[in-house]
Structure formats: structure tokens, C-alpha cells
Amino acid sequence: MEHAISLANSRVQAANASRFVMDTTFVLFFLAMDMGTSVGAFSFDLILSGLTLAMFTAAPYLLPFAGVKPEFNGWLIGRVFIALIGVIGGVSVKFAAGTVLPEAIKYVPMMLLIVAGIFCAYTQIYAMIRVRLAR
């Protein structure tokens, strides 16, 4: 019976390792898209958005995690790539809104950012307070 329990625990740890900070990746993407829709003239908002995006790119590595964390440099390069794709997508949405796509499409990245933020907060809180079996 112990062998079955240890097998189940190893599967749970493998599943946790595969989703390391995956929920914050969606927030990062939609945050970058929202920043891309506001890119234009140099302003204080753009500086704050860029600072927030930079912090949200690297800071989730410091979140508590039960498994083995990947190497920081490779992980950060992947996150920067996701942020760049998001900014490019946001800029393309900005230029397409009102011409190719309806004007209301420019609000979609912020709506998806809010939904992703709620999902991220839920999964992080659930990971902290979920019931664990005593060993």
C-alpha cells in the first residue's frame, strides 16, 4: 500500500513541476498586451507600465514552490519572449481597432488580464491553504 501512496505523491510533484508559475504566465501575456495597446507617446503611464511588466516578468520566480525550480536564466528568457509577443500583439490590436476590427476590441486585453489575474490569485491562494495529508 505504501508503494501506491508514494507513486501518487510522485505524480503530484511531477504535475506541480510542469505547472511552475504557469498561471502567472497568462497574466504576464495579457499585461504585456494591455501595455502594447497603450504604447504611443512617451509618458509617465508608459514608464509605470514598463516597470510593472519588468517586475512581473522576474518576480514570480520567487513564489513558493514545492518542486524543483528551473534555472533562472532560461526561465527569464522564456518570460521575456512571452512579454514581447504580448506587446507585439497589443500594438497590433491597437492599430487594428477601428479599422479592421471593431473599436471595442481594444478593451479585450484588459478584460482578459482581469480574468487571468483572478484565476492566478485563486490558484496561488488555493496552493497555500489546501488540505495536505499528514505524514
CA-to-CA separations, 73 to 23, 32, 69, 83, 101, in angstroms, rounded: 19, 20, 12, 15, 38
**Distant-in-sequence, close-in-space partners of 110: CB < 8 Å, separation ≥ 6:** 30, 34
Measuring CA to CA, which residue among 5, 20, 31, 14 is closest to residue 84? Answer: 31
Domain that residue 122 falls in: 2-129
Quick check: is 59 in a domain? yes
One-letter amino acid for residue 125 of the chain: I
SS3 29: helix
Q: For residue 78, is it within any domain? A: yes
Mean pLDDT across 80-104: 93
pTM for this prediction: 0.76
Q: How many domains does the chain have?
A: 1
Nearest to 27 by CA among 93, 103, 86: 86
Instruction: Compute the average pLDDT of residues 90-114.
Output: 91
Mean pLDDT calculated for residue range 91-114: 91
106 located within any domain:
yes
Q: Per the domain annotation, does 134 fall within a domain? A: no
Q: Considering the domain boundaries, does residue 135 fall inside one?
A: no
123 occurs within a structural domain: yes
The listed range with the strongest mean pLDDT (14-18, 107-111, 123-127) is 107-111
What is the model's pLDDT at position 67? 75
